[in-house]
Structure 1
Amino acid sequence: MTEPIPLRTGAALLTATVEELSQRAPAIVAAAADQMRGIRLGLGFHDGSRALLSARHSRLVVEHPADGAETDGVEPADPDVEVVFDNRALNLLFDLQHRPADQALPDSLDTRGPREQVLAVWRAFSLLAQRAAGLRSVQELWRCYRDEAPVPWGGTADEDEPPEPAEDASGWAGTDYLLRRRPQDATGGEPELIGGTVVTRPRLLWDGRGSSPWWHESPVHDADLLETMAACRARTSEAMASFVPHREPKAELYDLMRLYPSRQGKGLRPTLTIAACAAFGGRPEDAVRAAAALELFHNGFLVHDDIADESTHRRGLPTLHEEHGIGLAVNCGDGLNLLAVDAILSNLDTLGLSRTLALIHEAIHMCRESVEGQAMELGWIHKHVVPAEDEAYFTMSTKKTGWYTCISPCRIGAVCAGVTDPALLGRFDEAFRLIGIAFQIQDDILNLVGQEELYGKEPLGDLLEGKRTVMLIHLFRHLTEAERPRMQEVLQRPRSAKAQQDAEEILAAMRRHGSIDYAVDLAARLADEGITRFEEDLAVIPENEGKAVLRQIAHYVTTRLL
């Protein structure tokens, strides 16, 4: 893990801000990237630092050419638009009190480039300023920058203590300014949609002292995704723990059931479930038990999958069967699935019979899809078959992981809110099918090129297990006649007969034939199609914070860095 860049320069601040927004508010990044598409922006700051900002798919990418980063020895292309800030211009960057013309102070902000591209850059930064300024994490970044480099803010680090703040002040002028802001139309009104994302005036998720869960706030149309997922994950974890009995046999069963759930993931499924419930007007609390059931099913599947795949690590720790033996692991997985059924039935008390029956129906459908997808993949491995076309992978991936990772959580959350109309529930299917495939392709890529501590499995584990990924399918489509026998021979070996150098040999062939780049581009295209379907198919849901969280997750697939 690389050390964070000290926030002493404008370029470092830009990098940190883009990285933070990519994780916490991906819909904002995607909206800005849509405006920046095809434009390379050169930025110069008062301290002499420089950076290049560009859009790659739906991501914003910051490069520092002076450091030689990401250039691979090739000189980067000249920027299309150049902007140079001095201290005054930087201080006004996120100040919405002034009109744009007021911010272009004489000899302070120098902008050069074609008119259309300059305007596109301005629109991108306006979106960032309007929608990102209310995020606590962004405010904290800029406060750290102010402390590290106080000159642009009109003071020095050792200046006299500021005057005592007002009683309701946070202690930070930027935060206090946002606290005083009110929408121009206090009576509300329809939000403005730009590029498929909702643009509203900034709303503060943090008052300088603390924050509250997203569903307790007044309706808005942006949310801090990391904080939202953390809150949903924590509440779901509490519910999961309540379903695991505290009785014997502890060491051989119930203590083992707690191991995988304690290795918490991102919280994607619980967040989708709770957000979908809120999007249809339900109480978020009504979806917690269903979210817990999904996570129990998920962890039961993982225990069994790890045995079938002969995996050695899960979320950075030894797999259950490696540490406790196959017999206890199989039984533990069975027990987790049993607890998941119990968690669904527990909704009878709060949601009633009809909703609980609908939840059972959705859970059975999800489990059937998952075991069918698992059978498809294991069949390919057993028969030494590599599918010829990507569509076969799309079908397998959707069945094996897409339903229980993306589609079913949304449908189940909607059922918790009282939606049982199959046509309405089906509006989630195509958007999140595409998003789920893109997400799985990205996970497969991360297994090859990602950091082990971030991915949670052993590096190149998918190649050792013989997983039929998009990269492997692409590779076998492009192997030469001379290469094919060797690749087939390595792939057909059982996991126990493969060594790390065998996996590295396949990876080298993938790099040679452009299979990883192909998969990155394919995932981005599928995610973009999924977001388009999200906006079209889910237009029936009114704009509210639950829907905004669903939108953030949809964009998270396109903006997370590989």
Structure 2
Amino acid sequence: MQSFEELSKKFSEHFNRAHFPEEPSSLYEPNNYFLSLPGKRFRPVLCLMACELFGEIQPSAWDIASAIELFHNFTLIHDDIMDKAPKRRGQPTLHTKYNESTAILAGDVMLVKAYDYINKLSPEYISPILAIFNKTAAEVCEGQQLDMDFEKRDAVSFDEYLHMITLKTSVLLAASLQMGGVLGGGSLGNLALLYETGKKIGLAFQMQDDYLDAFGDPEKFGKQPGGDILANKKTFLLIQALEQCSTGQRQELKELMAGADKEKVPKVLQLYRDCKIDEWAREKKNLFLNEALDHLNEIAVISQRKLPLKELAQLLVKRDY
């Protein structure tokens, strides 16, 4: 069994090559630029790790891992357009560096290339992999739409937000594990457990992301705390604070989020601390992580083979960057 670091290096060597023709360069060069931006590539490596859970990594797993990474980058390109985001991974977003129309087309053709890699599979795998891939792709779009819908609403419940994040973030992690398991020959029971493992890792990952945005060390996290607060984003932290805090604190929080107070971020963070939202977030994150590890423990392979996945799950959730 190989560690995340070992497989990540191998996947980068496999993936860092030309995926697109040279012409028209006005379409394909932007994609090459976007794929060159530094990324952690957790999802494709999860696919490889799940395949190796049941034996040797199958050659076809590298193609599916590439398809997953291309699909993920397609979603990022389009998300950046919808969010009007100027930066991605510390560099100009595609629509900022080029233009919005080019970014839309570049994202579209990146999705097409993902399907090209799926089409390389042997016939017995194409149908089950496509079923997982297409279901996941639709759910990611549903999650993004719900996220945009929530921006227009004054109130969103914790359960609604949890459902949205499951679709927008968790299902792709879950599907990456499940598709790797399919190619590795996992049983239906083991594949279902892999999927649930990925879902819970995704929720814990998002919880940690929200937490770091509010309370992370700027030097480690790479940006000043409170970006979500400044953007008035509905996060796990904000939704729980609105449900948990007192009537007076709730009113103050609503006024801060609706206003442009120069001290908005420190005031909101102090309210979070007063309501013990920081403690709640750490506990909830660990709950999701423990549920993920429980599902992983149930998978019917020897424990030693699960260790790299366990280590990666803990890395994703306990990271401080």
1:69-117: per-residue Cα shift (whole Å, max 9, x none)? xxxxxxxxxxxxxxxxxxxxxxxxxxxxxxxxxxxxxxxxxxxxxxxxx
Once the two structures are superposed, the pairs formed by residues 70-469 of structure 1 within 5 Å of their partners are: 223=3, 225-235=4-14, 237-238=15-16, 241-248=17-24, 250=25, 252-347=26-121, 352-387=122-157, 389=158, 391-404=159-172, 406-419=173-186, 422-451=188-217, 454-455=220-221, 459-469=225-235
Deviation at 1:308, TM superposition (A): 2.1
AA paired with 1:400? K
Instruction: Tell me the distance in 1 between the aligned counterparts of 2:261 and 2:34.
Output: 27
Instruction: Tell me the distance in 2 between the aligned counterparts of 1:458 and 1:247.
Output: 40
Instruction: After superposing the two structures, state which structure 1 stretch, 504-513 or 482-491, moved more.
Output: 482-491
Q: 2:283 aligns with which of 517, 521, 533?
A: 521
Instruction: Tell me the distance in 1 between the aligned counterparts of 2:271 and 2:87.
Output: 25
More helix by share: 2
Helix, strand or coil: the match of 1:468?
Answer: coil
Deviation at 1:472, TM superposition (A): 0.6
More strand by share: 1
Deviation at 1:402, TM superposition (A): 0.5
Give the conservation status (yes or no) of the 8 Å contact 1:313–1:458: no
Q: 1:501 to 1:306 in 2, by over 3 A?
A: farther
Q: 1:318 to 1:345 in 2, by over 3 A?
A: same
Q: Number of matched residues?
A: 321
Q: 1:301 to 1:369 in 2, by over 3 A?
A: same
Q: 2:313 aligns with which of 542, 554, 562?
A: 554
Instruction: Tell me the distance in 2 between the aligned counterparts of 1:458 and 1:319.
Output: 19
Displaced runs of 4 or more, over 6 A: none
Q: Runs of 5+ in structure 2 lacking a partner?
A: none
Instruction: Tell me the distance in 2 between the aligned counterparts of 1:304 and 1:247.
Output: 22
Give the conservation status (yes or no) of the 8 Å contact 2:241–2:250: no
AA paired with 2:180? G
Deviation at 1:326, TM superposition (A): 2.4
Give the conservation status (yes or no) of the 8 Å contact 1:528–1:558: no
- 1:541 aligns to 2:301 (yes or no): yes
Deviation at 1:453, TM superposition (A): 6.7
AA paired with 1:361? A
Q: 1:469 to 1:290 in 2, by over 3 A?
A: same
Instruction: Tell me the distance in 2 between the aligned counterparts of 1:500 and 1:313.
Output: 23
Give the conservation status (yes or no) of the 8 Å contact 2:208–2:317: no
Q: Runs of 5+ in structure 1 lacking a partner?
A: 1-213, 216-222
Instruction: Tell me the distance in 2 between the aligned counterparts of 1:458 and 1:288.
Output: 37
Q: 1:328 to 1:485 in 2, by over 3 A?
A: farther
Q: 1:503 to 1:308 in 2, by over 3 A?
A: farther
Give the conservation status (yes or no) of the 8 Å contact 2:194–2:295: no
Q: Percent identity?
A: 27
Helix, strand or coil: the match of 1:385?
Answer: coil
Give the conservation status (yes or no) of the 8 Å contact 1:314–1:457: no
- 1:531 aligns to 2:293 (yes or no): yes
Give the conservation status (yes or no) of the 8 Å contact 1:373–1:399: yes
- 1:510 aligns to 2:281 (yes or no): no
Helix, strand or coil: the match of 1:432?
Answer: helix
Counterpart for residue 122 of structure 1: none
Give the conservation status (yes or no) of the 8 Å contact 1:438–1:524: yes
Instruction: Tell me the distance in 1 between the aligned counterparts of 2:168 and 2:311.
Output: 24
Deviation at 1:316, TM superposition (A): 1.5
Deviation at 1:232, TM superposition (A): 2.9
User: CA RMSD, aligned part only?
Assistant: 2.6
Deviation at 1:500, TM superposition (A): 6.6
Give the conservation status (yes or no) of the 8 Å contact 1:230–1:267: no
Helix, strand or coil: the match of 1:243?
Answer: coil
Normalised TM-score (structure 1): 0.53
Q: 1:544 to 1:524 in 2, by over 3 A?
A: closer
* Structure with larger Rg: 1
Give the conservation status (yes or no) of the 8 Å contact 2:20–2:28: yes
Structure with more contact order per residue of length (Cα contacts < 8 Å, sep ≥ 6): 2
Q: 1:471 to 1:227 in 2, by over 3 A?
A: same
Instruction: Tell me the distance in 2 between the aligned counterparts of 1:462 and 1:261.
Output: 25
